């Protein structure tokens, strides 16, 4: 998706720079700053996340349209945004606890477990290093897998036919479910992958909720036919599962390119002469994530329109001043107000993340010879030796597989464990030849 943040101090004392996770440390202290539209845009993302953190109530939830009424979906998306930006992780955990306590009511929709809601909770748990197989006593992963239709025309679909008709199951949710399963190391079966691949339209996009209920030749001016959001989630889910074939991928990219607005962003429906679209931050964010998931650069010349990249377009929605400074607005001109959902969607994109991302994704720790730990990205600080005199300097480190702990090793063979890293012994009390 929290913990104690450390500020990098005394850089000259750093002797070990060990990088964990899928991110990479690029450049140096004297390197030029990246262009303002080059991902990740940590400052912009964290400003947005800070504003979002202020919307969390003492009860750990984001309020909905009715004052004081919890909105579980907004709360679940807030967890992802805060985890992605590594902002107010204590608040994010409080929100996760709220969702855990109220998961039974939230998961059920149209009388059955909702696949999209289960997937979102799994991604939340994964982002914060929690166990989605024991979430309020429920195994979210098993329940998500149990929603898959075993037979019939929609074999492989996560969700019921009633949910499909009500948009509680869809190509969008199928992609989200595939990403969630990948987050916990589960490979989806062939029917689930095939159902989604077979929903791709000839122009490369995906309709919502499914082709049988929304034909590929629908009029986009009437919000029919393929859209950018369903396409972006389908791409991320298939990519996460390693099931995005070159043909499916190239066709999907062609659809997104053709759907792009002249300002560099995307709206829900494809931009066309007979359907001029206005970019919105939600669609632009989710398409950026899809491009990242398939190895495309959203700041490349391919996606630059009139000198403006999709990332720069997204930044144009960020409120510059006032009470909502840092938030993402639905308008990029004139007086602007922050929008909770737009802000939630934008933060992972600004951090350069696609689904799924976990506590050690796109993050790293720097370790000093004194045992000081400095965390960056969404790496979690679990403690350090910075205040303890050491017999010998720290010369190495390693993270646990889930990123929720680490070991430090001294040159004398001393081992120090933090977080969920287990101490198995050391040679700190022995005299070593080397």
**Which pair of tokens denotes residue 126?**
């994964």
332-352, pLDDT tens digit by residue? 876 679 999 999 999 999 999
Answer yes or no: are the C-beta atoms of 22 and 317 closer than 8 Å: no
In 184-275, which residue ranges form alpha helices assigned H by DSSP?
A: 190-198, 228-240, 246-259
Task: Considering only CA atoms, give the Rg of the chain.
Answer: 23
> Residue 8's pLDDT is what?
25
In angstroms, rounded to a whole number, what is the distance separating the alpha carbons of residues 325 and 317? Answer: 11
Computed over every residue of the chain, the mean pLDDT equals 87
In angstroms, rounded to a whole number, what is the distance separating the alpha carbons of residues 267 and 80? Answer: 22
Answer yes or no: are the C-beta atoms of 110 and 72 closer than 8 Å: no
357-406, pLDDT tens digit by residue? 987 444 677 888 988 887 665 455 678 887 888 888 999 998 764 455 78
* CA distance to 76, 79, 88, 239, per residue, from 116 (Å): 11, 16, 25, 18
230-285, pLDDT tens digit by residue? 999 999 999 999 999 999 999 999 999 999 999 999 999 998 888 888 899 999 99
**Which pair of tokens denotes residue 125?**
């748990």
Using the predicted structure, report yes or no on whether residue 289 has a pLDDT greater than 50.
Answer: yes
CB hemisphere CA count around 361 (13 angstroms): 21
**Predicted TM-score of the model (pTM):** 0.79
Answer yes or no: are the C-beta atoms of 218 and 224 closer than 8 Å: yes
Using the predicted structure, report yes or no on whether residue 320 has a pLDDT greater than 60.
Answer: yes
């Amino acid at each position: 998706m929290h913990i104690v943040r450390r500020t990098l101090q005394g850089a000259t004392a750093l002797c070990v720079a060990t990088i964990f996770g899928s991110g990479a440390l690029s450049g140096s202290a004297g390197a030029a700053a990246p262009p303002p539209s080059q991902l990740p845009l940590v400052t912009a993302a964290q400003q947005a996340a800070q504003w979002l953190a202020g919307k969390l109530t003492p009860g750990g939830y984001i309020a909905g349209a009715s004052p004081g009424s919890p909105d579980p979906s907004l709360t679940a998306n807030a967890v992802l945004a805060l985890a992605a930006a590594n902002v107010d992780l204590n608040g994010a955990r409080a929100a996760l606890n709220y969702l855990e306590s109220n998961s039974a009511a939230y998961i059920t929709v149209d009388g059955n477990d909702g696949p999209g809601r289960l997937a979102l909770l799994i991604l939340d748990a994964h982002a914060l290093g929690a166990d989605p197989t024991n979430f309020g006593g429920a195994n979210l992963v098993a329940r998500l897998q149990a929603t898959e239709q075993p037979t019939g025309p929609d074999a492989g679909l996560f969700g019921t036919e009633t949910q499909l008709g009500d948009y509680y199951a869809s190509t969008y949710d199928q992609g989200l479910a595939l990403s969630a399963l990948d987050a916990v190391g589960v490979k989806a079966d062939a029917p689930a992958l095939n159902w989604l691949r077979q929903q791709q339209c000839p122009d490369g996009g995906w309709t919502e909720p499914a082709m049988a209920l929304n034909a590929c030749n629908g009029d986009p001016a009437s919000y029919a036919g393929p859209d950018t959001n369903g396409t972006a989630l389908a791409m991320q889910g298939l990519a996460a599962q390693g099931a995005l074939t070159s043909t499916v991928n190239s066709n999907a990219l062609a659809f997104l390119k053709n759907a792009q607005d002249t300002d560099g962003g995307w709206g829900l429906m494809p931009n066309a002469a007979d359907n001029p679209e206005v970019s919105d931050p939600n669609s632009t964010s989710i398409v950026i994530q899809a491009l990242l998931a398939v190895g495309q650069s959203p700041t490349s010349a391919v996606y630059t329109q009139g000198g403006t990249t999709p990332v720069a377009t997204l930044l144009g929605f960020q409120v510059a001043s006032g009470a909502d400074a840092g938030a993402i607005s639905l308008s990029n001109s004139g007086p602007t107000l922050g929008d909770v959902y737009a802000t939630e969607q934008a933060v992972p994109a600004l951090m350069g993340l696609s689904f799924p991302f976990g506590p050690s994704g796109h993050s790293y720790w720097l370790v000093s010879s004194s045992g000081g730990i400095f965390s960056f990205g969404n790496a979690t600080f679990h403690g350090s030796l910075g205040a303890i005199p050491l017999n010998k300097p720290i010369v190495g480190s390693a993270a646990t597989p889930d990123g929720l702990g680490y070991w430090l090793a001294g040159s004398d063979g001393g081992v120090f464990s933090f977080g969920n890293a287990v101490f198995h012994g050391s040679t700190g009390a022995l005299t070593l030849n080397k």
